[in-house]
Amino acid sequence: MLFFKKKEIPLNEFFPEGFVDIHSHLLPGIDDGAKNIEDSVSLISKMYSYGIKNFVTTPHVLGDVYPNSSETIKSKLSEVRKALDNKGFADISIRAAAEYMMDERFVERLEADDILVLKDKYILVEMSYFNAPYNLYDILFEIQLKGYKPVLAHPERYNFYHHDFQNFYKLKKAGCLFQLNFLSLTEQYGKGVQKVSKKLLSEGMYDFVGTDAHHHNHLKLLQKLGDVKIKKQLEKLLENNKIFK
């Protein structure tokens, strides 16, 4: 019996030139990501060593838990940009959008056009891990009626859809774009998530990818992706992310 060792590659050869990470939590002290400005710079510096130089960071906007306003997010972004300049990271591009929970407050923001986009009209949205909003398809319709394009963060992590794969097809048919979390391909979120992510990937249902980096442990785990086979599987998605540059 033959055993084939995986062909490892360093992450700075994994991410193509011009790749943009469109999902991360790198702004200091406003959600469950970077704790302070030093943490922000440290995380970005590590990602830079992996070859990621372009970021659209996406703090949570979630009810009373993370009630981040557009102004708060922009202010924190300015702090990070200034700190990166002081550290000499002249070739890093960082912008800010948000990861919006699709709740009542999001609908109010949508009506007021108070939305931070990934670029153009792309909005990163998420759902509760317990259940989908009762009016999910109404919200997706309203997003598109406003001229925006919904990008659903980590669809593979919504366990309540795992028992019926038709839900994923229905979301795609409703105009929802899918963003894969890199770490979903590992056992980071459990074997169920890993299995579903691989199935969605094999069926070509993903549109974009993101690190969803919150802390250094996530970045350490990213090293598991340093494999020629995985890079080949993600090649198209890695290229797709370049539209956000």
Residue span of the structural domain in which 30 resides: 15-244
**Domain membership flag for residue 5:** no
Mean pLDDT of 133-150: 98
Centre a 10 Å sphere on the Cβ of residue 63 and count the other Cβ atoms it contains.
12
Q: Is the dihedral of CA 55, 192, 32, 148 positive or negative?
A: positive
Quick one: pLDDT at residue 7?
84
Query: What CATH number did the domain enclosing 83 receive?
Result: 3.20.20.140
**Counted domains in the chain:** 1
Quick one: pLDDT at residue 4?
44
pTM above 0.85, yes or no: yes
**Domain membership flag for residue 183:** yes
Quick one: pLDDT at residue 109?
96
**Domain membership flag for residue 3:** no
**Domain membership flag for residue 21:** yes
Q: CA-CA distance, 44 to 166, in Å (whole number)?
A: 38
End-to-end CA distance of the chain, in Å?
47
Q: CA-CA distance, 98 to 115, in Å (whole number)?
A: 8
Reduced to 3 states, what is the DSSP secondary structure of residue 219? helix
**Domain membership flag for residue 32:** yes
Tell the residue number behind the tokens 């469950």, with chain if given.
32
**Domain membership flag for residue 2:** no
**Domain membership flag for residue 9:** no
Give alpha helix (H) positions in the chain: 37-49, 70-86, 104-111, 136-145, 166-173, 191-202, 216-222, 228-240
Mean pLDDT of 138-164: 97
pLDDT in tens, 42-66: 999 999 999 999 999 999 999 999 9
